[in-house]
Structure 1
């Protein structure tokens, strides 16, 4: 398509139709939000969460499995190489090769400029999991039960969250906030990526090289193309290899605008695994009661429950949490 488009309304209508296709595709991946969600962690983290009324989100480049982003890039590369429908898209020209090179180049650019601004919190639907007790707390940690509906509907849905700075000041910042269930099925991942890549290919073919008669239309087109690719890139952060399926993970992702310096206002660092790990502290209180949406704290299978309860119960009460139930894990250890 090489003709000039003079009417911004025509361009807007084009992207409205495209966004409906993408929304339908995204909705096909959505699952019902569980009423409860769990977080396995250490006693030190429990103390910090309750005392500060915040929770930490770790930078996406420093997760336990740091190959996640490369995993999705490989699937995209395989699709661009082998999928017949993608490769037959206007195959009478050199568009398929140009499209492939452009997608991978843009993906790598996104890794470089966006990943420093993406922070993740890992939660799980698994409430009785030996592997989770082992992997995240060496059996002597604690499991928090959160009201997940309250988290999704009242805390992380705003996109305008409060964070704690290095100076312990509360800072309200705009951000893109997303909560979703991790997808482990490679077929589901591949099907989604194929469909959104075909949508993206259509947009690039139709509008990628169009010259507009107004800067407003030019900027709108550029921003719309960027937004679509952003959705492709964001999908990478709810996908993992199926060997991790036992984690039954949900994620909360917070992304700061890479063109601003907002992240630097609230980014902190901690020592772990021989490295400095970037993280942010999110105010995790529900707006109405100013308390964390915690329903239960379960004590790990290796801990003496009598001693643990003696300290935990009065600490909870003094912190304003009189309704939190304290239980003991019933998982037997040999």
Structure 2
């Protein structure tokens, strides 16, 4: 199958231990309630939630802690010691992100505009049968949940059909280890610092120097803004999270022709922004696992009939949790 992914719109976050090919050629697991499962299957879409409304209060802003530690460890070796203050002053706590969009390169500055961007997140796990995740779906002292095994490669191909060119998708594993966070950020800082040092070597004009400094500075800020949602507090490490992050204009409904619209639902009594992103029925969902203690035979029979009656592939595998819970 021809790869239709547009590299200008879809980006892989792959720390040193996680190569891009490994990232894409894997199945990840979205745990959900019975109602959530039926909503996904009936609409053939997955829900991305505004990052401000996720269950971890430190989402999006957790990056400040490892970023400060990373700068502290490399500060004495940097060519450009002011880099730390510049970057940390820009990475703020606002959930809105201003992005300069080039609409017509031939017009120079007149062909650009600033758009207010928001980040929306779809969460999964790398573990197909995880007790900590099943625990979110206990109702009446019984486990009532499912997970969908989703092909990363196929969901990305499906999402690549997004027509709104200002939207971007980022995907990859969440980092929980403090050391790995710091090492990942140190590498980004050092690469930027070295690149800036080399670029300035042969430039004598002060105006040109300022332009180069600004360019390199923006590259590092862009990296941090793009991937800050992949750094998470270690207390959530048991979830083994793998996530997809969609960055899109805040006023997406004003973008003509876009298949993705911002909508609202109520979660835990809070009005929550989200967007539902359609996917192809063929190949995206590889398997469905039934939580422990659900009536497995009945749950499997109901799922099989639903999938057959609603145009899903026959090869979607239905499994039962192997966790030996009695009650």
TM-score normalised over the length of structure 1 = 0.73
Match among 86, 89, 108 for residue 78 of structure 2: 89
How far off is 1:54 after superposition?
A: 0.5
**Which has a greater percent of helix?**
1
Matching of residues 102-181 of structure 1 within 5 Å: 102-108=86-92, 111-113=95-97, 117-136=118-137, 139-152=143-156, 154-156=157-159, 158=160, 160-161=161-162, 172-174=163-165, 175-181=167-173
CA distance in 2, matches of 1:100, 1:227: 14
Are 1:65 and 2:65 counterparts? no
Are 1:333 and 2:317 counterparts? no
Match among 219, 236, 239 for residue 247 of structure 1: 239
What RMSD in Å do the two structures reach over aligned CA positions?
A: 3.4
Contact 1:110 1:233 in 2 (8 A): no
Counterpart position of 2:266: 271
CA distance in 1, matches of 2:250, 2:190: 27
Contact 2:14 2:172 in 1 (8 A): no
Matching of residues 1-334 of structure 1 within 5 Å: 28-31=16-19, 32-33=22-23, 34-80=25-71, 82-83=72-73, 85-90=74-79, 96=81, 98-108=82-92, 111-113=95-97, 117-136=118-137, 139-152=143-156, 154-156=157-159, 158=160, 160-161=161-162, 172-174=163-165, 175-202=167-194, 210-212=206-208, 222=214, 225-257=217-249, 262=255, 266-285=261-280, 290-291=281-282, 293-321=284-312, 322-331=314-323, 332-334=325-327
Structure 1 regions of 5+ residues with no counterpart? 1-22, 162-171
Q: Deviations over 1:284-307 (max 9, x none)?
A: 21xxxx536112222222322343
Q: Deviations over 1:112-131 (max 9, x none)?
A: 42695111111111112111
**Compared CA separation, residues 188 and 201, structure 1 to 2 (3 A):** same
How far off is 1:312 after superposition?
A: 2.5
How far off is 1:103 after superposition?
A: 1.3
**Compared CA separation, residues 112 and 151, structure 1 to 2 (3 A):** closer
Matched length: 283
How far off is 1:276 after superposition?
A: 1.3
Contact 2:95 2:118 in 1 (8 A): no
- Structure 1 residue matching 2:289: 3-state secondary structure: strand
Contact 2:168 2:247 in 1 (8 A): yes
Contact 2:288 2:317 in 1 (8 A): yes
- Structure 2 residue matching 1:46: 3-state secondary structure: helix
CA distance in 1, matches of 2:291, 2:15: 37
**Compared CA separation, residues 258 and 46, structure 1 to 2 (3 A):** closer
How far off is 1:40 after superposition?
A: 0.8
**Compared CA separation, residues 303 and 259, structure 1 to 2 (3 A):** closer
Contact 2:196 2:216 in 1 (8 A): no
CA distance in 2, matches of 1:256, 1:227: 19
CA distance in 1, matches of 2:78, 2:84: 11
CA distance in 2, matches of 1:99, 1:178: 25
Contact 1:57 1:120 in 2 (8 A): yes
